[in-house]
């Protein structure tokens, strides 16, 4: 059965997870901006935020954990 066959409650949970992730990405972006504008050489200071945002995007929006399925998955 496909994951797209959520009931009303499942769809609401998916939407809530998406909004929560978007909020976290916005907060991380704001922190990145503050760091980038206040630190003289911000590259190393920004790396943790870049990795965190990338991980969030990969997991929540691109479903990267689904690629780990060995048998019976679509990966």
Give the residue from 47, 26, 25 showing the smallest Cα distance to 36.
Answer: 47
- For the chain, the structural domain boundaries read 8-68
Per-residue b/e over 37-65, b at no fewer than 16 CB within 10 Å? Answer: eeeeeeeeeeeebeeebeebeeebeeeee
Length of the chain: 75
pLDDT tens string, the chain, 75 residues long: the values are: 445 555 567 888 888 988 999 999 999 999 999 999 999 999 999 999 999 999 999 888 887 777 776 555 555
């Amino acid at each position: 059965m496909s994951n797209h066959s959520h009931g009303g409650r499942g769809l609401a949970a998916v939407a809530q997870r998406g909004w929560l992730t978007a909020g976290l990405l916005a907060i991380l972006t704001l922190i990145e901006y503050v760091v980038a504008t206040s630190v003289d050489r911000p590259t190393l200071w920004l790396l943790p935020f870049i990795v965190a945002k990338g991980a969030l995007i990969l997991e929540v929006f691109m479903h990267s954990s689904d690629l780990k399925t060995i048998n019976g998955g679509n990966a």
